[in-house]
Chains A and B, each alone.
Chain A
Amino acid sequence: MSLHSGKRLKGWALVPLAGGILGLCVLPFFVRAYLIEVVMMYFIYIILAQSYRLIVTVHDWQLYHVVLYGVGAYTSGMLAKSAGVPVFFAIPLGGLMAALVGVAITTPLLRTKGWGFYIATYGLAELIRLSWLKFRNPFGGSTGIIDIPWPPVVAGIDFSEGVPYYFFSLGVMLLVLYFLYRIEKSHLGDSFKAISMDPDLAASTGIHIPRHRLMACAIGGFFAGIAGGLLVHRLGAVDPKLFNLVTMLYLLIWVVVGGTKTFWGPIIGVSVMHTLFELSRPLIQVRPLFFGLSMTLVLIFMPGGIEGVLLKVVARWQKRNRLPTAET
């Protein structure tokens, strides 16, 4: 079976998945504290990239996703700091706020299409980001917000420590991936894809396109906000620089390099590109050049991303073994 069939993972396909999760569970006991922090960022970025992909399945390549990530971070951080909301409640509330902001941005833009839509989303996102910078009260201006309360001790486990927070964010990531995977394999997920493949046909079969676009935007925004909440309670601070266009470009690089056709593409994209990012720390001056170039080369030479190459390999292998061909 190929990665891109409508069918769910079953049987032997679950083995590598279980192995991977097990690996992530034992990892923190074998590596230095620094590396635990690094791996946590992968979890956060995978949530971010995966939630973005959901929106991309309805073909809305909006450019405000990273700002929603920021909305989640600011909301969760401010609720915890100023309103005393417990961290584990503040995070989902941040997600909710991000979903609301996403819907508020997208609703007036539903009539725009293609480039008009992409650019308008960027404009509105920039408006939000600039207001974080300009309003010292309550957003803290260019220095952001510091001294955000740490996560509490629950059942004797101190979640402000590295390892417990690692497991907390791993758990949240797996839960988010599970929800998104269910959407992916549901009728709703197929409706989203139908809209991006042929909107006129989709509408002619009764699919309410604006409603579905808003739904994708709200669900994706919610999980982006969750990612922001996870980030801010590990850092103990919000820095507006984390949510600027550069981060948006990295997000685009992850999903373009990984691919968006299958559920696994963005995970591959984050795993590969963020690893390269970490490894290239010593070459910091050439890093932007390298990443810009890598996205361009991928777009030119492997438009389906790494995932696309894997799909081709699998298809060829199936052909050689005369297996029934699945969707490619």
Chain B
Amino acid sequence: MGACDCAGCQDALLALWIDKMGETGPVAILEVKGLSKYFGGLAALKDVHLTVREGEIRGIIGPNGAGKTTLFNVISGMYRPSAGEIFYAGRRIDGLPANKIAALGLVRTFQRTALYHEFTVLRNVTVARHLHVRESLFQVIAGNLKQKERENTEKALEIIEFMGLKHLVDEVAVNLPHGYQRALGVAIALACEPKVLLLDEPLTGMTPTEKGHMIDLIRKVHGKDITILIVEHDMRSVMELCEYISVLDFGTLLVEGPPAEIQNNEDVIRAYLGTEDILTVGQS
């Protein structure tokens, strides 16, 4: 970014950049207004407001059960919100089904390792290119699909290579090491050609080497003009990746700010009770 790499300069630059965004700002690509989600009596989300600008990498952190995954589930259309509105690219999307939201270019990954376990890596990605494979039932039964299939496979292979999985194309997903499985989860999301990508704990359960790989990959994805929201417990990685962080606690938005502010915020430290240095949260 700047000529100087020291933390102070970085933070100053960031603050400046964020200020500028505030004034002239690229339009918000994702806007959440007064969002609530109740499970019976439990408020998993309470009146949450969130604005994400195009091109951002936004971190979303918070202790276990804070509502981070619920936020993704509601934004991605898996759950209906109990109250509130969600706007994506200027369009209201709350209440739309998940497949419709994915078709608009807002795609999420899962906290659990969600894959088609019995499929090979290649088939996991080709099937996820659903939105871009157009074949009619007639074509399936009687037509010639060779050309379409070849195109789809080529595109899938590009994504697989991009995610560093090329040497594993014909491996069955269930047999992959955990790190590669998580990378495949991201490859599946990329297959939808998203404009906004929601990553739910992409580093979970990884060794430090694997985390390093994944962080590089996330940066590479961001480099393709994809706006990223990332939920993650590994503070060091979040602080490293994100320009701006939103903190959830008990379903409410606690604070928002650049990493340096968040690290020293009293409320955040209190939320992670008993943790002197929040940078150690999520380190294994």
Contacts and interface: CB of A to CB of B under 8 A. Distances in A.
What class of interface size applies to chain B in its complex with A?
35 or more
Nearest to A187: B133
Interface string A183-195: 1001110110110
Contacts of A208: 97, 99
B98 A204 contact: yes
Nearest to A199: B98
A200 B116 CA distance: 11
A6 B152 CA distance: 14
A197 interface: yes
Contact of B99 (A6, A190, A207): A207
A182 interface: yes
Contacts of A131: none
Given A187-B126, A200-B98, A327-B119, 18 more contacts: A182-B140, A187-B127, A187-B149, A188-B137, A190-B127, A200-B110, A200-B114, A201-B116, A203-B77, A203-B98, A204-B76, A204-B78, A204-B98, A205-B99, A205-B102, A207-B130, A325-B172, A326-B170
Interface in A60-114: none
A179 interface: yes
A191 B130 contact: yes
A203 B97 contact: yes
B120 interface: yes
Contacts of B135: 186-188
B130 A187 contact: yes
B115 interface: yes
Interface in B89-124: 97-99, 102-103, 107-108, 110, 114-120, 122-123
Interface in A3-22: 4-6
A206 interface: yes
Contacts of A327: 118-120, 123, 172
Contact of A198 (B76, B116, B120): B116
Given A204-B108, A205-B130, A6 B97 contact: no
What class of interface size applies to chain A in its complex with B?
20 to 34
B1 interface: no
Given A204-B108, A205-B107, A328-B172, A215 B137 contact: yes
Interface of A: 4-6, 179, 182-183, 186-188, 190-191, 193-194, 197-198, 200-201, 203-209, 215, 219, 261, 324-328
Contacts of B131: 205-206
Contact of B192 (A5, A187, A206): A206
B154 to A, nearest CB: 14
B229 to A, nearest CB: 14
Contacts of A204: 76, 78, 98-99, 102, 107-108, 110, 114, 189
A197 B117 contact: yes
B4 to A, nearest CB: 42
A326 B118 CA distance: 11
A324 B170 contact: yes
Contacts of B172: 325, 327-328
Contacts of B191: 205
Interface string B220-247: 0000000000000000000000000000
Interface in B62-102: 76-78, 97-99, 102
B187 to A, nearest CB: 11
A47 to B, nearest CB: 15
B163 interface: no
B152 A206 contact: no
B145 interface: yes
B141 interface: yes
